[in-house]
Amino acid sequence: MDQVALPLVIHGLGGGRDALPSGFLDGTHSCHYRLMPLLFARESDHLVDTLREVAAPNKIKKVLKEYTPFKRMIYQKRGQKVRDMFDCDNLPRKERQIRNRIKSAGLWER
């Protein structure tokens, strides 16, 4: 099973604290992201496509656009620019290298 973002997994399993079986958090079934640029750089196409799909309805879009990193990464397509910078099958070994590359391209968001 492809990884998907943690809130999507919890929602898909009916929500609540015990929605994920023990040991599945940040493993084969979920991805808990800390920063949007890293999500776009490292995660699977399926996860990114799912994020875009759930962020598309106007009710959701209105809320997410209030947070600048979401607005820029998802709706202003900067996330795709970050994605295009990396080969997900051959990422740099250290997160710092990924961060520095994104920062030097002017696409870093917190």
Domain of residue 90: give its range: 35-110
Mark whether 16 and 40 lie in a shared domain. Answer: no
d(CA 95, CA 75): 24
What is the number of domains present in the chain?
A: 2
Residue 60 zone, left/alpha/beta (φ > 0; ψ -120 to 50; rest)? alpha
User: What band does 8 get if pLDDT is binned at 50, 70 and 90?
Assistant: low
Residue 39 and residue 28 in one domain: no
Same domain, residue pair 58 and 80: yes
| Among 80, 79, 85, 109, residue whose Cα is nearest residue 98 | 85
Do 43 and 19 lie in one domain? The reply is: no
Report helix, strand or coil for 33: coil
Span 5-17, average pLDDT = 62
What pLDDT, in 10s, does the model give residues 20-43? 566 665 555 556 567 899 999 988
Find all residues with CB under 8 Å of 33, minimum gap 6, and list them.
Answer: 5, 6, 39, 43
* Residues 102 and 76 placed together within one structural domain of the fold: yes
* Distance, CA of 96 to CA of 28 (rounded, Å): 23
pTM of the model: 0.73
* Claim to verify: residue 45 and residue 12 sit in the same structural domain: no
Whether residues 21 and 42 share a domain: the answer is no
Q: Report residue 80's pLDDT band, with 50, 70 and 90 as the boundaries.
A: very high
What would the pLDDT profile of 38-70 be if each residue is shown by its tens digit?
999 988 898 899 899 999 999 999 999 999 999
